[in-house]
Amino acid sequence: MKEAVNSKRPVNLDLRTIKLPITAYTSILHRISGVILFIGLAALLYGLDLSLSSEDGFARVKAFLAYPLVKLVIWAVLSALLYHLVAGVRHLIMDMGAGETLQGGKLGSQIVLIVSAVLIVLVGVWIW
């Protein structure tokens, strides 16, 4: 029986102790924000359809949007949209050849997190 190439390598399955680089966190968040957008968009499209169906439907949606939990969900979906947009722009810039080095990737990830945080706070102020 043949041994694995690096059989003496430690196996660490405790996710709390694994140290990931900042680029990994921005990539994981980009994927999570995409999933949130996929799910949240269905709910938002249903609300749009209901609001456009009649005056009564519009009034129902308007009353529904006054609940704090609904505002929180809207804020979460908009936050995912903004993060996904900023991280997507970073990917487009990297596709053009800028920021492909290790240092450039780290700087790009930091910029994505800072710009996204500012935009998310601003949209939170706008909603509330």
Binding site membership: which residues?
A: 84
C-alpha closest to that of 102 among 27, 21, 19: 21
Q: Residue positions in the annotated binding site for heme?
A: 84
